[in-house]
Structure 1
Amino acid sequence: MSDNLSDLKDYIGIPEDNNDFDKVLKLIIKNTEMQLRVKLGLMNDINPVPDELAYIPFSVEVKRYNRLKNEGMTSFTQEGESITFNANDFDEFQSDINDWKKQNGTSVLVAMDPYRKRGDNHVV
């Protein structure tokens, strides 16, 4: 996480020796990576975010940092300036997430028939 923290600080313009925001940035990094792992089907801490998708949490972390104090805002307009946030920070990456899941066998669709009687193995 230290490399991620350093990269994020560089990108958003916080000097490396300024530790004032480290606690918040580490929390943003941790939560973003946990959320992406859930979306990828990598539910435990043993499986890190795959290297080929490392750009996703970084991009989302920047978004989340930039809107601190404005979390959940859906629209704001003042003197010609308008701000709107996506409901889901990962929306623009969903096709990449789906492609990775398809290529790595974590995309499993399970359908259940709520009307099927227990023990009825008949498939229609």
Structure 2
Amino acid sequence: MTEENHVVDLNELKTMLQLTSDKHNALLNLIIKNTEQALRFKLSLGDYENIPADLSFIALEVCVRRYNRLANEGMASYSQEGQSITFNSSDFDDFIDDINAWREQNGKNVKSLGRVQFFNPYRGDSRAVQS
């Protein structure tokens, strides 16, 4: 996915983070790329399917969370001088209902039911009973 195809706009992300310089652009672009890749996986999108515009807010919000969590990777919580921060196990946790609803509406939750066979050892043949 090339930079111009990102659903998260670098300038919008910088505005949300109150960053005015270009000092962190390389880091922010990496966060955008990884966040969008993770969201595409969670949505079960193919290589050439775009993240739906109505879910682009998820990518932006997760980018903000990811940036704010820098230097605290792997921590479940952080406390200092009376201030406490608790991190979700995944930056996408608060959006799982939205992700699952989109997947359901777009046929991405289709599960293979497979085939079950039962054999009757008393029949003497191998005819399968399918369910």
User: Taking every aligned residue pair, what percent have the same amino acid on both sides?
Assistant: 43
Q: Any unmatched runs of 5+ in structure 1?
A: none
Q: Specify whether residues 75 and 38 from structure 1 end up closer, same or farther in structure 2 by C-alpha distance, changes over 3 A only.
A: same
CA contact (8 A) 2:36 2:59 kept: yes
Using the size of structure 1 for normalisation, the TM-score is 0.83
Q: Does 1:55 align with 2:60?
A: no
Give the residue type in structure 1 aligned to 2:30.
Answer: L
Equivalenced residues, count: 119
Q: Following TM superposition, where does structure 1 have runs of at least 4 consecutive aligned residues deviating by more than 6 angstroms?
A: 113-117
Using the size of structure 2 for normalisation, the TM-score is 0.79
Q: Any unmatched runs of 5+ in structure 2?
A: 120-126
Alignment of 1:15-30 (within 5 A): 15=20, 18-30=21-33
Q: Decide which moves more: 56-65 or 100-109.
A: 100-109
Cα displacement string for residues 62-117 of structure 1 (whole angstroms, at most 9, x for unaligned residues): 00111111112112222321122111111111111111111111111235579989
Quote the RMSD (CA, aligned, Å): 2.4
**Higher alpha-carbon Rg:** 2
